[in-house]
Amino acid sequence: MNLLPTQMPAVGIQAPPPAELRDVFLPVPTPAGHDILVRVDAVAVNPADCRVRQRKLDDGQVVVLGWDAAGVVVACGAEAAERFRPGDAVYYAGDVNRPGCNSAYQLVDARLAARRPANWSAEEAAALPLTGLTAWEALFEHLGYAPEASAAGQTLLVLGGAGGVGSIAIQLARLAPGLRVIATASRPESVNWCRQMGAHEVIDHRQPLRPQLQAIGVEGLQSVLLLNRPDEHFAALAELMVPFGHIVNIVPFSQPPEINLLMRKSVSLSWNYMFTRSMFQTADMARQGEILADLARLAEAGRIRSTQREHLGSLSARNLSAAHVRLARGDTIGKLTLSGFPAFRSEHEPHPDRADLS
């Protein structure tokens, strides 16, 4: 028998900005089908959280944001029991169409989760899922690189290398032997961070790219991960690409780009939106759980490191608001994390209001 409280603390929003985040209490959900119920131990924040917040309808309904979490399974739906059992330590990004992880407990489809790295803290693990999945899909599914498969003679530009996705993308790209990884960063601390992540060279995206690339012997690019400000950089990147090169973009354009710039070189432009599989319930949705399992194995083997850089305390409207302000400035290095609700009684402790979720 697994007894849980019927109510839980969460941080939510009831209207679009400038409405503020609020500390609220919500019902603890019950898992069914493929879902697992996770006690959230730590979360990370992402620009995706802020974009969803901007789109909030003014309907009076409380929405919980957050799509990066590490926690412990406390209950399983019937179809999730073959993957996990209560007590398993897991991590996941989840589904942007469902309530997020800024709560004491969260339902997530078991196919989107994996056991988290055993040698990482909950906060370190929470920093990985959304960005790790995005980088993995971009590098290994879109661009065609693979760990241990030679990419000798090829050059990858990670535009926006010090952010969350860039930080893990640099590390994963280095798993492809021979691939030359160039990152962009504009401040001394972000340049140093990119080098710590494994970038061979770092150039400044606030300065013209071509002369900086030529200075390090690069005349053209085979591959680009476009992770920041695509409107500013698209035209320059189109000129830098070699014939049949490939750009993967993860950030919405503010204005429609001039796609014709890619035609003469037959350059590919593809989108990578990490939530596509969960949003459309694709036949290969479980692939995300498999990727997270692969990332956990790399972490346990010491081949990748956590991109957590700052911890902002425990979940609360105040601390989460501070994290959103930091993200809105656009100068965050690595990932920002928060702990769960440490003062909230766990499922194993006496509680005056309990329900049987066995």
- Mean pLDDT of successive 10-residue segments in the chain (358 residues)? 83 93 96 98 94 91 96 97 96 96 98 98 98 98 97 96 97 98 97 98 97 97 96 97 98 95 98 97 97 98 97 96 92 95 60 38
Query: What local confidence, expressed as pLDDT, does residue 2 receive?
Result: 56
Pair (210, 247) in one structural domain:
yes
H helices of 84-154, in order, are 122-126, 129-136
What is the C-alpha to C-alpha distance for residues 209 and 204, in angstroms, rounded to an integer? 7
Sheet containing strand 22-27, edge to edge, reads 22-27, 7-13, 63-64
pLDDT digits (tens, 9 = 90+) for 296-341: 999 999 999 999 999 999 999 999 999 999 998 888 999 999 999 9
Pair (82, 152) in one structural domain:
no
- Name the CA radius of gyration of the chain, rounded: 21
pTM for this one?
0.94
Among the candidates 217, 238, 271, a domain finishes at: 271
Pair (34, 56) in one structural domain:
yes
Task: State how beta strands 354-356 and 69-76 pair.
Answer: unpaired
Nearest Cα neighbor of 181 from 47, 196, 86, 338 is: 196
Q: Which domain holds residue 90?
A: 3-128+284-356
The structural domain count of the chain equals: 2
Query: What local confidence, expressed as pLDDT, does residue 30 receive?
Result: 96
Pair (19, 114) in one structural domain:
yes
357, 77 contact by CB (below 8 A): no
Pair (183, 259) in one structural domain:
yes
